[in-house]
Amino acid sequence: MDVHGRDLRYFTSVAEELSFTRAAERLFVSQPALSKQIRMLEKQLGVVLFERDRRTVRLTAVGEALLPHARAVLAAWQAAEAAVEEAKTAERCTLVIGMSTSPGRGLLPALRTRLVSRHPDAQPVLRQVNWADPTAGLADGSSDVAFVWLPLPEDDRYQYAVVAREPRLVALPDGHPLAARAASDPEGKVDFTDLLEEPFLALPREAGPLRDYWLALDARDGRQLRIGGVVASAEETHEAVAGGQGVALLATGNAPLVVRDEVIAVPVRGISPSQLAVAACQDDKRTLVLAYLAAAREVGATTC
């Protein structure tokens, strides 16, 4: 037996008004339509809910028994509708921002300010993602937008705005011979060719083309690469460099995450600069996603 919420609303209104005329006015329906609906409910339940005569309408004993339960069901459904609306609003206003490490560079407050100025109800939520996922949660949908390093795997799946272009440095253990070479160089740099015999720290294989980029495979001219270890966080990178497992390329703005306690970094000549971008899925046209990308383009225009 399925009784609709409309039937319970009609029944409750008549029970409270004790008048089909007033109940119909309250419900904005015609009196004949209301009377018909009540008769159908009584037939469905197999009971009489109201005693009617020309002047009065009274609840039967069965109607009296049903009324508090009808009110409770309607109140519960009203609360459920309110909860659904609240959840829908929160979902519309929440923007999950993925990142493998904090982007720093003042980017988060700059982008948040621009986003909230246009969408005051927006609620940015930050999400940390392992370095094994170069899309920072975009690929599996766990992030709405993300700070990513280019190149992205399956580049055509994503739309993005570059927010920082920075020279790449090499992280070395303090006292490494190349540190002295950089100190004697007029520009304070080492040539990438000076690094070709060094063991390199690599991202996990799942990082795809981003792993190749941070190993600078395109600048090796076919020279064999030695992998000294695999790292999946800034802390692992610091420990591996300090422990002499290998050297690591990193963006200038990320140097503070690695350079400390026996680890230094020097600029590298002969390789392309790194590019940090804010990205989203190519087919994602949600308002907050597009607004965050627009903010990223504005910030990128001033920083790149």
Q: What is the pLDDT of residues 179-224, one digit of tens each?
A: 888 888 888 899 999 999 999 999 999 888 999 999 999 898 888 8
Q: Is 29 a residue whose pLDDT tops 80?
A: yes
pLDDT at 88: 65
pLDDT in tens, 226-260: 999 999 989 999 999 999 999 999 999 999 999 98
pLDDT at 70: 92
**pLDDT band at residue 3 under the 50/70/90 scheme:** confident
pLDDT at 4: 86
Amino acid at 251: A
pLDDT at 222: 81
pLDDT in tens, 65-118: 999 999 999 999 988 887 777 666 655 678 999 998 888 888 999 999 999 898
d(CA 218, CA 125): 36
pLDDT at 158: 95
Q: Is 2 a residue whose pLDDT tops 90?
A: no
Taking the model in full, what pTM does it have? 0.69
pLDDT at 292: 94
CA distances from 21 to 5, 84, 248 (A): 20, 33, 82
Residues whose CB is less than 8 angstroms from the CB of residue 236 and which lie 6 or more positions away in sequence, other chains included: none
pLDDT at 231: 93
For the chain, percent of residues with pLDDT exceeding 70: 97
pLDDT at 149: 94
Q: Residue 63: which of 39, 47, 43 has the closest Cα?
A: 47
Residue 147 is given by DSSP the state E
pLDDT at 89: 60
Average pLDDT of the chain? Answer: 90
Mean pLDDT of 270-283: 94
Residue 51 is given by DSSP the state E
pLDDT at 93: 78
Residues whose CB is less than 8 angstroms from the CB of residue 278 and which lie 6 or more positions away in sequence, other chains included: 111, 145, 146, 147, 148, 160, 161, 163, 292, 293, 296
pLDDT at 92: 67
d(CA 295, CA 110): 8
pLDDT at 54: 80
8 A C-beta contact, residue 240 and residue 131: no
